[in-house]
Structure 1
């Protein structure tokens, strides 16, 4: 999506629970084998004691405080997640808004699986331009993957799932250049989907009357095996590569950085940030394409977080800011991906 003008991102926050489960502990408990732990490359996965919406409230408080934004100034709150939020037939987005005191906000839930956080940013950006008087948009994500219903280490191929929450404030930049406008600046967002791959997470399973009616535990490996038997790995690889390339190129073009370079020929694209997937998955599915973008350094975050469900992109934005990795005139391309499949790229700059 080509933005009419850049938007500000303030207070990007990553909230992680204090408890961790190391790979060695998971192996000792028989949750995963040592070879898989090595391929994943995670030092450990955070394990929550709070429900996901409660974590989202914690992240939201941090984001609003860091941004200097009163909860009453939030006109839109978008909450994204992939896994159970703690209650049936219930809106976690409204819970987050209520607990934060964002009484004037319209809460919306976003379910685009692991791409949900990036999708929420894109939706918030669109709404800000359509409704200039909206004020501030708060985007939160939160997920937890507890036993026995979810196997965080071995329930999927090439991904370990960590518990945590993220939040950020999206807003218009002040006119006239007065003051510090934001922590990061959002210049472009691009999203590409390949709906023909939805079967990767459905497989041959019949439609059920309720969650986990086919078994007591979510088994993503089963559905992926069914897809690969029917379609073959090549079908997924071709669609994934083409879609990711299209998202990257569209985002850079919309930001005026075709090939990672500005019109003046310099190289302002400093980083390309991969999703928080396992090391082997990034090596095979993302590094071959992303390593060649504009001479930028490829970052592989998540060794200490694992995959954060809908929160990967926002977590990377939070870390880019917290570590002061972008100076004025420098950019990072943050890549997000989710089942369905959908790929999004966010081009952000330093201030």
Structure 2
């Protein structure tokens, strides 16, 4: 998707709790093998303890709105994405975030695309902002994208519920402005997404459909469903699909922005926040063949932030002043289903 005019990323916020969950504690408790801890490459992960997930989104949203210098009352649309339980059944966390922020005019929308939810929500808000009617066309429209997840025990073990990925708690937020304003931190040039529904069974396995959450097991166990899928299919179908998807979304994002992989303006690539071994084996070799840009791994201190990897990547770019004015960066995201996304952002010349 290529916006018809530049969409400004006015600001991006990342909220992480002060609490930490230690890998060494998980190993000592027998929840995590020492070799697996080494493969993950995280000494600790953010642990929100008692913070409700949507409140983490509210915290991040306040950071982003304050940095953008915009009041919540001006928001026209708010999309909230998540991976894991938000605290209530049959309830809309997006409406809660809008209410807590004081955004009565915003349309609250929930986006449930698992780990790729943040990127999907950003694409939705970008497209929604492009539908401004004539009465509103004379002033910029504002949209907010938030994510939040808290991977709380006993239903979820952040260290051992999955292979190759460990999960950190936190909230993210991005303020989008159309048209872009001179002071915006970044410009969103394109959003590319690719899906392969043939892989949905990796997170279903041979389990029967259940009438309620965790009716079959007391804890979310993605390892069990993946083992069941791998016994039938082996690793090759996913390896092939993952490489194809990475190349596809990267090529589409670059083409929509009028760039190529060798464009000297492309200076950085932000990786998803997966375990070190997963990145080394499944992502770095593919990207190293395609681009000369610097590969950035911001996930060692956070782990995988559920739906928030892409938005957290934007927040980290802004905080570090990257890329340099006139240069661009790719931000990757991927999640169960499977779906992959790639955002291309540019730092405006001041």
Q: Taking structure 2 as the reference length, what is the TM-score of the superposition? A: 0.95
1:15 aligns with 2:15: yes
* Aligned-partner Cα distance in 2 for 1:172–1:125: 8
1:180 aligns with 2:177: no
2:119 equivalent in structure 1 = 118
1:207 aligns with 2:209: yes
1:341 equivalent in structure 2 = 338
SS at match of 1:329: coil
SS at match of 1:259: coil
Cα root mean square deviation, aligned: 1.2
* Aligned-partner Cα distance in 2 for 1:258–1:323: 24
1:2 equivalent in structure 2 = 2
8 Å CA contact 1:79, 1:92 repeated in 2: yes
* Aligned-partner Cα distance in 1 for 2:124–2:29: 42
1:75 equivalent in structure 2 = 76
2:309 equivalent in structure 1 = 312
* Aligned-partner Cα distance in 2 for 1:279–1:305: 12
1:1-351 matches, within 5 Å, as 1-48=1-48, 49-131=50-132, 133=136, 135-174=141-180, 180-261=182-263, 267-351=264-348
* Aligned-partner Cα distance in 1 for 2:327–2:108: 33
Q: What's the offset of the Cα at 1:183?
A: 0.7
* Aligned-partner Cα distance in 1 for 2:2–2:107: 25
Structure 1 runs (4+) deviating above 4 angstroms are none
SS at match of 1:4: coil
Q: What's the offset of the Cα at 1:181?
A: 3.2
Q: Could you tell me which runs of 5 or more consecutive residues in structure 1 were left unpaired when the two chains were aligned.
A: 262-266
Q: What's the offset of the Cα at 1:291?
A: 1.9
* Aligned-partner Cα distance in 1 for 2:7–2:167: 31
SS at match of 2:12: strand
Q: Could you tell me which runs of 5 or more consecutive residues in structure 2 were left unpaired when the two chains were aligned.
A: none
Q: What's the offset of the Cα at 1:105?
A: 0.5
- Judge which range, 23-32 or 283-292, deviates more: 23-32
Q: What's the offset of the Cα at 1:30?
A: 2.5
* Aligned-partner Cα distance in 2 for 1:26–1:217: 16
Q: Deviations over 1:272-303 (max 9, x none)?
A: 11100000000111111112333101112210
* Aligned-partner Cα distance in 2 for 1:65–1:124: 20
Size of the aligned set, in residue pairs, is 342
Q: Taking structure 1 as the reference length, what is the TM-score of the superposition? A: 0.95
* Aligned-partner Cα distance in 2 for 1:156–1:233: 16
* Aligned-partner Cα distance in 2 for 1:243–1:280: 19
